[in-house]
Amino acid sequence: MTEQTARPRVVIATDLSEELCREIERQEPRVEVIRDHALPRPMRWPADWGGDPAHARSDDEQAAFDALVDSADILFSIPDTDAGALARTVRANPRLRWVQVMAAGGGAQVKAADLTREELDRVTFTTSAGVHGSTLAEFAVFGVLAGAKELPRLQQAQRGHTWDDRWTMRHLDEMTVLVIGLGGIGKAVATRFAAFGATVWGTSRSGRPVEGVDRLISLDELAEAVAHVDAIVVTLPGTEQTEHLVSEELLRTVKPGVIVTNVGRGTVIDEKALLSALDDGRVAFAALDVFEVEPLPDGSPLWDHPRVLVSPHTAALSTQEDARIVRLFVDNLRRFLDGEPLRNVVDTVEFY
């Protein structure tokens, strides 16, 4: 058995702290963890996996970085989170077997690399799905509460020093919340709304029971279901199948005054249709962490809409994200070495 076979090379292709690199070594001594902290782009904030795009490597540094990632059996992060760099290293390194993608919806990055079927079959890609569940679930609750308590009205009155007449607010324990997508994030969303006493419905392809979910909805039943719910939380990834799932047609059937929150991918909601529904009152409030085009274009009407909360795709970020991803990665390392199925494997047909 060769040394390479005995100790697969895990190459750290992002600005991961030395402390966490050593944690991988400590947790799984059967691998060799290779890193050079001088080569990845430096992070600008926690979990800035792509690093500072303004950071330019010299020609020698770029050559060294390419050689480093091309030596991997296992890559921790797509280099610079760049699809082109992923394609280059997959083709340059026939021994590469597994890439840990930092994004929960990392299938889109893999798809953008435009790899061949042979390359997709040779390399396994896993995502960080589930790591962001708690933070995104909190934003989903925050978004629905902001709509239920009419945050824009409160802010407007406060800015104008206006003591309005009192009015009734909606309460979570009187609301039915539909979670579109019961993956790792959706399950976390469901349990939190259930803890507040809300009635929780959720869409599921498997039909298996989910903790905190009172009713499972098939996608075929979605148009009927939205006519009866007080809030819709979108957690789905962006795929060809989910694009504009929340469409003009669907929004025509919603219960008037529904609250919409999106913590999945922006392409799931047709923003033009959403704006129309906001304007005529079908949607009372929308809290959006993701958008069809990011950054949100300066001319988008969403910026200035009085009943929209814009979050710059930041709800998932946490000071503990890197440690959480390392824990997931270490568990998958054990599975990889022991010949067990990996968690969060990207479907390279639908890319989710």
Q: Pick the catalytic residue: 174, 240, 294, 340?
A: 294
Say whether 9 is catalytic.
Answer: no
**Pairing outcome for strands 9-12 and 308-310:** unpaired
Quote the CA–CA distance of 316 and 320 in Å, as a whole number: 11
Q: Pick the catalytic residue: 97, 122, 244, 313?
A: 313
The type of residue at 147 is: G
Quote the CA–CA distance of 195 and 199 in Å, as a whole number: 10
> ω before 295 within 30° of 0 (cis)?
yes
Tokens of 305: 């809409």
Q: What angle do CA 101, 70, 48 make, to 5 degrees?
A: 35
Helices 133-148 and 184-195: angle between axes, nearest 10 degrees = 50
Quote the CA–CA distance of 77 and 86 in Å, as a whole number: 9
Strand partners, 310: 288
Strands of the sheet containing 74-76, edge to edge, are: 32-34, 9-12, 74-76, 98-100, 124-126
Quote the CA–CA distance of 166 and 46 in Å, as a whole number: 42
Going by the DSSP 8-state scheme, the letter that residue 317 receives in this structure is: -
Q: Pick the catalytic residue: 170, 265, 307, 324?
A: 265
Say whether 19 is catalytic.
Answer: no
Q: Would you mind telling me the total number of residues written for the chain in this entry?
A: 352
Say whether 161 is catalytic.
Answer: no
Quote the CA–CA distance of 303 and 310 in Å, as a whole number: 7
- Helix boundaries (H) for the chain: 3-6, 18-27, 59-69, 83-92, 107-112, 117-122, 133-148, 151-159, 184-195, 222-225, 248-251, 271-279, 321-337
Say which residues have a Cβ less than 8 Å from residue 343's Cβ, sequence separation at least 6: 126, 130, 328, 331, 332, 335
Residue that the structure tokens 């690399």 belong to: 113
Just list the catalytic residues.
265, 294, 313
